[in-house]
Amino acid sequence: QVQLVESGGGLVQAGGSLRLSCTASGRSFSSYAMAWFRQAPGKDREFVATINWSESTYYTNAVKGRFTISRDNAKNTVYLQMNSLKPEDTAVYYCAGGLDGMYTGSYDYWGQGTQVTVSS
């Protein structure tokens, strides 16, 4: 069993930056693909970024060039560096672990979420 705990959310002005962290407990962290999803009020959970075991990354178009996903296997931690934040980035951000891909069904493990609010 893998447990994921996110941190680093908060309130930031448009144009600002935040770094989210997600620390995993349990074994075999390095063998999982890790991803970030987000869910805004009244909307479905959507894919943001993923990084697989070989550190290949993939981003949704809305965040390309602004967000960077990375992982530190020695610390069992995945990060999401978010720059040039926009009000439309406001959402609860979830960390997920499992198979690679853009779909929620590809991931078996989920964190509890961390709120990111971007003010205009």
Measured distance CA(10)–CA(106) in Å, rounded = 27
The angle formed by the CA atoms of residues 58, 67 and 38, to the nearest 5 degrees, is 80
- C-alpha separations of 10 from 46, 55, 75 in Å: 19, 27, 23
Predicted confidence band at 10 (pLDDT cuts at 50, 70, 90)? Answer: very high
Residue 6: predicted pLDDT? 96
Residue 58: predicted pLDDT? 97
Q: What is the pLDDT of residues 23-45, one digit of tens each?
A: 999 778 888 999 999 999 999 99
Q: What is the pLDDT of residues 51-109, one digit of tens each?
A: 999 999 999 999 999 999 999 999 999 999 999 999 999 999 999 999 888 999 999 99
The answer to whether 85 and 12 have CB atoms below 8 angstroms apart is yes
Residue 35: predicted pLDDT? 97
Residue 115: predicted pLDDT? 98
